[in-house]
Chains A and B, each alone.
Chain A
Amino acid sequence: MLSCLRAEGVDLAFGYPGGAIMPLYDALPESGIRHVLARHEQGAVFAAEGYARVTGKPGVAIATSGPGATNLVTGIADAKMDSVPLVCITGQVRSALIGTDAFQETDVFGVTLSLTKWSRLVRTIEELPAVIAEAFYWARSGRPGPVVIDIPSDVLKAKMEFAGPVKFQPESNPAEDSDSSFAQAAIALLDRAKKPVALVGAGAKLSGAVADLRRLLDRLQIPTFATVHGLGAVPPDAPYYLGMVGMHGTRAANLALNETDLLLVFGARLDDRVTGDPTRFAPHARIVHFEIDPAQLDRVRPCDLSVIGDLTETVPAFSSAVHRVSLPDWRGWRDIACGPERAELDPRGLAQPTIRFLDELFSRLPENSVIVADVGQHQMWAAQRYHSSSPRGFVTSGGLGAMGFALPAAIGVQLAKPDTTVLCVSGDGGFQLNIQELATVRRLGLPIKMVVVDNKYLGMVRQWQQLFYDRNYSETDLSDNPDFVEIARAYRIHGNRLNEDAMRELPVAAATSDTLERFLKSSEPELLVFDCHPEANVYPMVPAGAALSEMLLEQE
C-alpha cells in the first residue's frame, strides 16, 4: 500500500490512526512517507487540502473506519466544490464484517458517493496497486477532485510483493470536444461587442494557464475581474483589473458585469455568489465560457459559445488568434468601467479599523506569501484587500464555505512551502471549530502567523440577521469567547492582542508597527488577536437573490 503511494509521488500524508487502519500505521514509520498527526480527522483533511491547493499535487488524508471516515466528509465536500486533488484513504472493518453493523463500521463508500469524483472499496490486495494508480489519476486529471479508497483491515494486513508502479490508462470517454473553430467564433463575438469583459476563476491557476491568460488579457485590455479563487491570476495593478466580483465584489466589477454585452469566462463555475440572481446575471451579455468540466456549462445561463478543454490549450489558441487580428477600440468603455468614479471608496464605518489592520498586515508580507482565510466576514475583507499577483497566494474554502478550514489548511500550506510566510486569517467562530490543531502547529514548530479577527459574533450570520432579520441576533453571540491568547499560551504558542484604537490613525503608531513586525518576522508560530467592532459589516454586499447591480453600500 505505502509502496504504491510512494510510486505516486506521495511523501507527505495527514491523518489520525484508529482500529481498522492500524495495519497501515504499523508500516508507516518504515515507509519513507512523512505522516502529520492532526488532532481531528477534519484537521487532517483540511491540511491535505491546503497542501494540494498550493502545490497542485494530490493531498493525502488517512483515517480509520466509522467516525474517522465520516469526519473526513466535510473536507471531501470542500475539495469537490473547489476542485482540489485529494486522495482519502480510509480503513474499513474486515471484509467478513462488512454489512453487519460491526463496531466502527460505516458505509463510507456510500456516504461519500455524491461528494467524490471516484471511489473504490478494495476487495483484495491484488487489486490494490491498480486501484491506487487509478485513484491518483482521477484526482489529478481534468477538473481535479477528491477520491476515496476504502480498505478493509484484512486487505491492509495481507501481504504481496510490490511489483513496481502501475500506470493507469483510462478507456477513452467521448467527452465533448469544442469545435476547433471556436477562436474565430469568439473573435466574431468580440468584434461585435461594445462592452466586453473577462471573468477569471480558479481554473486559470488550477490548469497552469495564468501566463497565457495574462498575455491574452494584456492584448484585449478589457475590464477584467476575478472570483475569490481567481484572485492573483491577474496582476492587481493591471489597468483593466477591477478586483473581485460577486456578492462582496467591488462596485466597479459588479457594475461592469451588469452592463457588459460580452462576457468571457475563464475557468469559473458561475455559482450563485458570483452571479446573484441568475435571471438578472449579465442581462445584456452573450457568454463565451472556457471550461474544462462540461458539467459546469449552462448551469446558470445558457452560454453562446462553450469552449470545453484545458485552459492551457484553449487560451493560447485563442490568444494567438486574437494577436493576429485587429480589435475594436474599447477605450471609451474601459475608461468608464475602470474610471475613478467607480473606484472603491476608502474604508469607512465600523469596519474601517479592521480593514486598515488587514491592509497593514498585507502590505508588510513578503512577496509570494500565502494568505489562508477561513470563512466569514474576515474572509471577504481579506479577499477584498488581497493585492498580490501570486496565483496560489490566496487559499480559502470558497465553494463549500467550511468554517474551521483555515488553521489546518495553513498547516498543509506551511509544510508544502516551508520557506514562505503563511498568514492564517480566521474569525473567532471559525478558529474555535478546529482550534485543536494548535497542537499540530506546536508539535511541528510551524511558523504560521495566525490572526483571529474577534468580533465576538458569528459575524457574517449576524450581518445577515442585522440586514434581513430585523437585528434578531439569534444564537450568533460569542461574547463569552475564551481568551485566545491564553489558549495559545496553553499550547506553548506566543500570542498578542491589538484593538481597534491601534488602527484609528494612519500611519500606525510605532508600538503597533513593532507588534506587527515582530508578529510577521518571528520564526515561531504566532497568534495575533484583533478586536473588531461587533457590528462591523462587509460592504459592498449583494443580498441573496438580488441582481449584482443592487449592491448595498456602507451606510445604506
Chain B
Amino acid sequence: MQVFGVRYRNTQGTLMRILNAVSRRGIDLPYVQATPAEHSHTVTLLLEVSPKQIGQLRRDWLAIVDVAEVHAGGRLSMIAKPKPNWIAPAYPAVSSGVAVDGGARTATA
C-alpha cells in the first residue's frame, strides 16, 4: 500500500479528475480524504499500486490543470482511523415540506 498526497486548487471537477486517474486503472481505493489546506486543498489517498503505476499516477495528476503538487510515499499514520460509530447526518426534509415516504423523513426533518 502506498500513501499519496495531492495538493490542488478546489475548482470544479479537479478532485474528480484526481480520483479518475485512479479509477481508470482499476486501482482499488481503500482510503481517500480531502481537506482544505491553507489556500488550497489536499487529498490523501491509500492505493495498492505497482512502481510503474506510481510514476504514471504522479504524471497524470501533475498534468491536471489545477493540481499543484504530488507527494508519494507518505506514512500510513497519515490515514485517519475510521470512527466506529460514525453517524450520518440527518436526511434533509424535502423542500416542499411534504413527506415523500411517510414517517422516516418526516421524523428527521
Please give the residue numbers on chain A whose beta carbons come within 8 Å of chain B beta carbons, in ascending order: 109-110, 113-114, 117-121, 138, 170-171, 173-176, 293-299
Contact = CB atoms under 8 A, between A and B. Distances in A.
A113 B65 CA distance: 12
A119 B60 contact: no
Given A114-B20, A119-B13, A298-B55, A293 B63 contact: yes
A138 B66 CA distance: 11
A109 B69 contact: no
A171 B11 CA distance: 13
B12 interface: yes
Contacts of B13: 109, 113, 119
B65 A295 contact: no
A189 B65 CA distance: 33
B85 to A, nearest CB: 31
A295 B59 contact: yes
Contacts of A293: 63
Contacts of B63: 293-295
B22 to A, nearest CB: 11
A79 to B, nearest CB: 15
28 contacts: A109-B12, A110-B16, A113-B16, A113-B17, A113-B20, A114-B17, A114-B24, A117-B65, A118-B65, A120-B12, A138-B65, A170-B65, A171-B9, A171-B68, A173-B62, A173-B68, A174-B68, A174-B69, A175-B62, A176-B62, A294-B62, A294-B63, A295-B60, A295-B62, A296-B59, A297-B59, A298-B55, A298-B56
Contacts of B65: 117-118, 138, 170, 173
A88 to B, nearest CB: 15
Contacts of A109: 12-13
Interface residues of B, number: 17
Contact of B67 (A113, A173, A296): A173
Nearest to B17: A113
Interface in B36-79: 55-56, 59-60, 62-63, 65, 67-69
A475 B69 CA distance: 49
A204 to B, nearest CB: 20
Nearest to A150: B12
Contacts of A173: 62, 65, 67-68
B40 to A, nearest CB: 10
Contacts of A113: 13, 16-17, 20
Contacts of B17: 113-114
Contacts of A110: 16
A524 B69 CA distance: 55
A140 to B, nearest CB: 13
A533 to B, nearest CB: 40
A294 B59 contact: yes
Best-buried of B13, B16, B20, B59 by chain A (most CB within 10 Å): B13
A210 to B, nearest CB: 24
Contacts of B16: 110, 113
Contacts of B55: 298
A297 B55 CA distance: 9
A118 B65 CA distance: 7
